[in-house]
C-alpha cells in the first residue's frame, strides 16, 4: 500500500530530508551565498493560467487577483485525493506539481496525467489551463537574497513541461495535456484514463468511457533543444457553464465595491 507524503511544499520537503548539496560559496564577483538542494528523479506537471497576459489587460488589477485565487483554490481540489505530489507556486501565473517515487508514487507520469485529467474533467469555470508534463532529474533548492530564501525547482524537465504546455495543437479542444512522446512508453489510453464509475439514479452503477483522445506523435522545434516529438491527450466534449471564472471575478469585485470593502486610498 502506498504511503502519502508528509509535506505539501518544496520548503517542507527541503526541511525534512538530507540535502544533496549543502555548502556556502564565496565568489569574488557575486559575493557569499548558500547552495542547498536535493536532486531527485521526478515528473513535473506544469499548470499555467491560460492567456494570462490578455486576462491582465481585460480585467482590473483587483479582478485578476480574484481570478488567480479562484484558479489556485480550484486547482488544489484536484489534489485532495492525490497523496503523492509536492506543490510549488511558480511565478504568478502557473503552478508546478512534482510527482516522484520519492514521494510514494508508483508511476509518477501516470499520477501526473490523472491529476491533469481531473482538471480537464472538472473545469466548470472554463479556466482551460495550459498543461505540460516532463520527467527527469531535477533539483529542488533554496534561492533568493540574504533577506529571504524560498524553495524552488530547477532543471530541464521544468523547462520542457512549461514549453510543452504552450505547444498544444490547433483544434476545437476543451482541455489538452502535452508531453514528450517518449514519456508514453507504449501505454494504452484505457490504462492511463480508466473509465469513470458513478451511481446513476435509474441505471445503478454506470461506467462512463473517458472523453479524451490520444494524439499521434508530432515533431516541433523547441528553442534550445532542437526537434522534439510531442504527444497530446485532449478532451473535445464542450459544455456551457453557468458562469466563467472571468465573469465571476468581475462579479465578486463589483460586490466588494458595492458592500464598501473597496477603499480607494489614492
CATH assignment of the domain containing 222 = 3.30.70.1230
Give a yes or no: residue 5 inside a domain: no
The confidence score (pLDDT) of residue 263 equals 85
The confidence score (pLDDT) of residue 1 equals 39
Q: Which residues contact 142 (CB under 8 A, 6 or more apart)?
A: 14, 34, 36, 37, 149, 150, 151, 152
Nearest to 110 by CA among 139, 136, 138, 135: 135
The confidence score (pLDDT) of residue 150 equals 81
Strand, helix or coil for residue 165? helix
- For 207-250, what is each residue's pLDDT tens digit? 666 789 999 999 998 877 888 999 999 998 777 778 899 999 99
Give a yes or no: residue 99 inside a domain: yes
What is d(CA 95, CA 87) in angstroms, rounded to the nearest whole number? 7
Give a yes or no: residue 264 inside a domain: no
Which residues in the chain land under pLDDT 50? 1-3
Q: Is the pTM of the predicted complex or chain greater than 0.85?
A: yes
Give a yes or no: residue 201 inside a domain: yes
**Number of structural domains the chain divides into:** 1
The confidence score (pLDDT) of residue 84 equals 63
Give a yes or no: residue 263 inside a domain: no
- Residue 34 sits in which domain range? 10-258
The confidence score (pLDDT) of residue 135 equals 97
Give a yes or no: residue 2 inside a domain: no
The confidence score (pLDDT) of residue 244 equals 92
Give a yes or no: residue 100 inside a domain: yes
What is d(CA 99, CA 105) in angstroms, rounded to the nearest whole number? 7
What is d(CA 214, CA 53) in angstroms, rounded to the nearest whole number? 29
Give a yes or no: residue 1 inside a domain: no
- For 137-146, what is each residue's pLDDT tens digit? 999 998 877 7
Amino acid at each position: 500500500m502506498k504511503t502519502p507524503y508528509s509535506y505539501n511544499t518544496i520548503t517542507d520537503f527541503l526541511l525534512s530530508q538530507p540535502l544533496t548539496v549543502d555548502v556556502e560559496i564565496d565568489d569574488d564577483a557575486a559575493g557569499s551565498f548558500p547552495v542547498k538542494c536535493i536532486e531527485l528523479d521526478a515528473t513535473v506537471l506544469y499548470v499555467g493560467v491560460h492567456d494570462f497576459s490578455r486576462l491582465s489587460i481585460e480585467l482590473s488589477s483587483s479582478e485578476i487577483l480574484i481570478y488567480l485565487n479562484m484558479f489556485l483554490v480550484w486547482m488544489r481540489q484536484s489534489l485532495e485525493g492525490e497523496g503523492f505530489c509536492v506543490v510549488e507556486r511558480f511565478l504568478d501565473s502557473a503552478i508546478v506539481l512534482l510527482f516522484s517515487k520519492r514521494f510514494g508514487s508508483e508511476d509518477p507520469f501516470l499520477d501526473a496525467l490523472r491529476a491533469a485529467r481531473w482538471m480537464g474533467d472538472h473545469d466548470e469555470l472554463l479556466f482551460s489551463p495550459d498543461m505540460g508534463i516532463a520527467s527527469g532529474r531535477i533539483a529542488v533548492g533554496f534561492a533568493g537574497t540574504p533577506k529571504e530564501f524560498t524553495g524552488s525547482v530547477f532543471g530541464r524537465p521544468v523547462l520542457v513541461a512549461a514549453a510543452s504546455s504552450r505547444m498544444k495543437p490547433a483544434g476545437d479542444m476543451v482541455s489538452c495535456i502535452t508531453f514528450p512522446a517518449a514519456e508514453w512508453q507504449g501505454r494504452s489510453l484505457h490504462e492511463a484514463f480508466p473509465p469513470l464509475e458513478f451511481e446513476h439514479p435509474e441505471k445503478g452503477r454506470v461506467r462512463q468511457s473517458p472523453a479524451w483522445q490520444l494524439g499521434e506523435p508530432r515533431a516541433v522545434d523547441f528553442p534550445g533543444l532542437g526537434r522534439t516529438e510531442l504527444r497530446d491527450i485532449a478532451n473535445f466534449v464542450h459544455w456551457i457553464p453557468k458562469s466563467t471564472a472571468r465573469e465571476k471575478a468581475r462579479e465578486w469585485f463589483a460586490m466588494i465595491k458595492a458592500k464598501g470593502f473597496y477603499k480607494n486610498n489614492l
